[in-house]
């Protein structure tokens, strides 16, 4: 007689498996840092500092993950973020600058790039790398035209927003002088968490999210399923552009200033975060939660490198490159073994 109460255990999908590996590696890496280096790694504020410093990178990585799940690429996200920062700073410093309008400006710039990229890639079928490369050069050039000198945002309303933090006293620590230092979280982290929740729901429960996976998995099969491939690809770039706009405003909330070199290299870090989080460059596999932990893993290893006394910037680049190669190799081995078993 069959046991009707026994539940069938479904195997993990490729996306879930790679995400699980990333989470385990992050936890193991952080525990290693706590044991070896101690110090700040023993305080909750270290985690919050990683989030505070990298909220904009987390957000822009979400957008890149969506594009990569659909089988595309977007290397303009860092330049768009920089353009948003400089544009919003200059607008807020102008007479009559309004905080709400600055937010709309950030979203508008991001959407404009997303729409243009999506139209050129989806409907004119130009290679994504070429289109977004042109977008990167255009955004960097526009940022330099706006100002070659650093600009600080002096708007009173923005300053109040930037300085607003969530204080958690019971997660704080006692300093050497005996004073209690409460844990602090910037508003940008809240925005990043909200983006994570929204994008997770879109990919998990909304038809559009499933279409992204189908598009990246096999475009021919997606067409046979009745999916509008061009519109789906177009919307992936629109979402990436929108998240770049949000990332730019969050970046400005963290730094409080604009610079022509803002967010330099962010697109490469976002690609690395997505891959470390389990997103495949070939498309069809990826997860927003995995990308979040991929970003945390990437930033944690950089913090470990600094704690090791290797303060020169090239050591962080070397470590990032090595980690990226390791995760790509790990993905190939894991997915190759699963394919053989099937």
Q: Are strands 180-186 and 165-174 parallel, antiparallel or unpaired?
A: antiparallel
Q: What does the pLDDT look like over 206-218, one tens digit per residue? A: 999 999 999 998 8
pLDDT band at 2 (very low <50, low <70, confident <90, very high): very low
Cβ atoms within 10 Å, residue 183: 20
Reply yes or no on whether the pLDDT at 105 is more than 50.
Answer: yes
Q: What does the pLDDT look like over 32-89, one tens digit per residue? A: 888 887 777 888 888 999 999 999 999 999 999 999 999 999 999 999 999 999 999 9
Using a pLDDT cut of 70, give the percent of the chain over it: 93
Torsion of CA 219, 225, 226, 230, to 10 degrees: -20
| Residue the block writes with tokens 């090595």 | 322
Residues 75/267, Cβ–Cβ less than 8 Å = yes
| Residue the block writes with tokens 């009559």 | 96
**What is the rounded distance in angstroms from the CA atom of residue 207 to the CA atom of residue 210?**
5
Residues 136/79, Cβ–Cβ less than 8 Å = yes
Segment 300-328 shows an average pLDDT of 81
180 to 39, 186, 195: CA distances (angstroms): 16, 19, 32
| pLDDT score, position 5 | 42
| pLDDT score, position 341 | 63
Backbone angles phi, psi at 184, to 5 degrees: -130, 135
Q: Which fold has domain 54-300?
A: ABC transporter involved in vitamin B12 uptake, BtuC (1.10.3470)
* Host H or E run for residue 166: strand 165-174
**What is the rounded distance in angstroms from the CA atom of residue 292 to the CA atom of residue 58?**
6
Reply yes or no on whether the pLDDT at 178 is more than 70.
Answer: no
Q: Can you tell me whether residue 72 is helix, strand or coil?
A: coil
| pLDDT score, position 8 | 47
| pLDDT score, position 339 | 64
Q: Which of 89, 261, 84, 243 is nearest to 159 (CA)?
A: 89
Reply yes or no on whether the pLDDT at 90 is more than 90.
Answer: yes
What are 177's two structure tokens? Answer: 């002088």
* Host H or E run for residue 286: none
Lowest mean pLDDT among 139-153, 176-190, 209-223, 247-261: 176-190
The domain segmentation of the chain, as residue ranges, is 54-300
Select the more confidently predicted residue: 97 or 290: 290
Reply yes or no on whether the pLDDT at 135 is more than 60.
Answer: yes
Length of the chain in terms of residues written: 342
Residues 186/254, Cβ–Cβ less than 8 Å = yes
Q: Which of 248, 294, 301, 287 is nearest to 89 (CA)?
A: 248
What are 295's two structure tokens? Answer: 């970003």
| Residue the block writes with tokens 């475009």 | 219
């Amino acid at each position: 007689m069959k046991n009707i109460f026994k539940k069938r255990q479904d195997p993990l999908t490729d996306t879930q498996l790679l995400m699980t590996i990333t989470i385990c590696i992050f936890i193991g890496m952080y525990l290693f840092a706590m044991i070896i280096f101690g110090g700040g790694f023993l305080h909750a504020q270290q985690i919050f500092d990683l989030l505070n410093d990298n909220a904009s990178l987390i957000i822009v990585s979400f957008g890149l993950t969506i594009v990569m799940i659909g089988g595309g690429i977007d290397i303009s996200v860092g330049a768009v973020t920089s353009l948003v920062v400089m544009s919003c700073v200059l607008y807020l410093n102008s007479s009559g600058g309004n905080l709400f309008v600055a937010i709309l400006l950030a979203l508008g710039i991001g959407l404009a790039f997303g729409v243009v990229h999506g139209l050129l890639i989806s409907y004119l079928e130009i290679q994504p790398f070429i289109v977004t490369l042109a977008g990167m050069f255009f955004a960097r050039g526009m940022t330099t035209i706006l100002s070659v000198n650093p600009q600080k945002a002096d708007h009173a309303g923005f300053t109040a927003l930037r300085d607003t933090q969530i204080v958690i006293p019971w997660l704080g620590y006692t300093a050497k002088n005996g004073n209690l230092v409460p844990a602090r979280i910037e508003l940008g982290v809240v925005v990043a968490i909200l983006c994570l929740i929204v994008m997770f729901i879109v990919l998990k429960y909304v038809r559009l999210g499933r279409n992204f996976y189908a598009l990246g998995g096999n475009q021919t099969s997606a067409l046979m399923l009745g999916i509008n491939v061009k519109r789906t690809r177009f919307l992936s770039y629109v979402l990436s552009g929108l998240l770049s706009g949000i990332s730019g405003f969050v970046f400005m909330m963290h730094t409080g200033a604009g610079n022509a070199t803002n967010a330099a290299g962010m697109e490469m870090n976002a690609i690395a975060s997505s891959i470390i989080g389990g997103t495949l460059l070939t498309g069809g596999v990826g997860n927003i939660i995995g990308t979040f932990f991929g970003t945390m893993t990437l930033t944690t290893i950089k913090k470990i490198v600094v704690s090791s006394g290797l303060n020169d910037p090239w050591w962080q680049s070397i470590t990032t490159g090595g980690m990226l190669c390791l995760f790509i190799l790990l993905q190939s081995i894991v997915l190759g073994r699963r394919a053989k078993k099937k």
